[in-house]
């Protein structure tokens, strides 16, 4: 019996020596940086890749944490920029960006061997934070090597503005003065100074001080209806498209409403019908 035990020891040592290298050959994971194109308020996609090495013959899952931005989660993460301003974005496991890349069941990446991992990112449209550089760091806990592997995310936000406007309708005109209003909404990146101007419209010979609506019925010609647009009241400063007649503001990241005051003067005798004009809103910043 003693001889059999003595002979078993070298066999056990040899077996341990054979297993030890496999136990020590742990997988590693590293990510490329996810650098978005410059952001100006429209949807902005980006892609990063992760690389497994030393994982031949092994299977596993990769998860992504919520990031370092305050309030981040697997469905919405935040990059942080100048003065603590934030920019929301998402990370996804698929190119269609329909499945979030997170740390819950169904939102993980399943891999086999040394295959790459793709991380698809998107910054949603309609955000106007302070211009500058925004960054986040998303950790990927990786049990195979016991490390939190970082995915660096960044973007440069440029100055940007968008504008929308509601229609200005005067209603029915019977020869007496009519006042009406519409709203221009300007959305600009925070701290961005802007100027809003209104052009003369479409009528031939119209100016920014005497605009004109023309009848829209086919085959009908005649005199147009003069009207004016103002920035403070129905009789306030004329709203034009040159220095001194512009409306100025500073963006705060949200839509800022500006009221357009229109006036249709009395005693204009024109053919009955529908009269229209189109004004172009110009925003400079």
**Tens of pLDDT, residues 53-90:** 888 778 888 899 999 999 999 999 999 999 999 999 99
Domains and CATH numbers, the chain: 26-157 (2.60.40.10), 161-284 (2.60.40.1090)
Spatial contact of 237 and 228, defined as CB atoms under 8 Å apart: no
∠ CA 115-120-123 to the nearest 5 degrees? 165
Q: What is the pTM assigned to this prediction?
A: 0.79
State how far the Cα of 23 lies from the Cα of 266, in Å rounded to an integer: 92
Mean pLDDT of 235-248: 96
Average pLDDT of every residue of the chain:
88
State how far the Cα of 39 lies from the Cα of 34, in Å rounded to an integer: 14
Instruction: Tell me how crowded residue 181 is: count the other CB atoms within 10 A of its CB.
Output: 14
Look up residue 165 and give its two tokens: 């406007």
Beta partners for residue 47, in sequence order: 120
Distances in whole angstroms, Cα of residue 156 to Cα of each of 37, 81, 256: 7, 9, 23
Spatial contact of 55 and 144, defined as CB atoms under 8 Å apart: yes
> Locate tokens 């990786």: which residue?
142
SS3 sequence, 108-154? CEEEECCCCEEEEEEECCCCCCCCEEEEEEEEEEECCCCEEEEEEEE
132-183 per-position pLDDT tens digit: 999 999 998 865 556 678 999 999 999 999 999 999 999 999 999 999 999 9
pLDDT value for 149: 85
For 43, the 3-state DSSP assignment is: coil
């Amino acid at each position: 019996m003693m001889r059999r035990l003595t002979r078993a020891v070298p066999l056990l040592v040899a077996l341990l020596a054979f297993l030890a290298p496999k136990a020590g050959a742990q997988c590693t994971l590293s990510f490329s940086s996810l650098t978005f194109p410059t952001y100006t308020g429209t949807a902005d996609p980006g892609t990063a890749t992760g690389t497994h090495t030393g994982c031949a013959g092994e299977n596993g899952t990769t998860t992504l944490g919520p990031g370092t931005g305050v309030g981040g989660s697997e469905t919405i993460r935040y990059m942080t920029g100048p003065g603590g301003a934030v920019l929301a974005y998402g990370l996804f496991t698929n190119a269609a960006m329909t499945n979030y890349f997170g740390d819950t069941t169904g939102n993980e990446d399943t891999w086999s061997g040394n295959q790459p991992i793709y991380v698809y990112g998107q910054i949603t449209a309609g955000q106007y934070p302070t211009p500058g550089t925004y960054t986040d760091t998303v950790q990927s806990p990786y049990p195979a090597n016991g490390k939190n592997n970082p995915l660096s995310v960044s973007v440069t936000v440029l100055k940007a503005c968008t504008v929308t406007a509601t229609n200005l309708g005067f209603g029915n005109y019977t020869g007496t003065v009519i006042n009406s209003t519409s709203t221009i909404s300007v959305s600009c990146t925070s701290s961005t100074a802007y100027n809003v101007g209104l052009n003369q419209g479409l009528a031939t010979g119209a100016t920014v001080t005497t605009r004109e609506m023309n009848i829209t019925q086919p085959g009908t010609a005649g005199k147009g209806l003069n009207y004016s647009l103002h920035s403070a009241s129905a009789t306030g400063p004329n709203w034009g498209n040159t220095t001194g007649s512009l409306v100025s503001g500073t963006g705060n990241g949200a839509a800022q409403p500006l009221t357009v005051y229109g006036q249709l003067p009395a005693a204009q005798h024109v053919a009955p019908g529908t009269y229209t004009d189109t004004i172009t809103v110009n925003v400079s910043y």
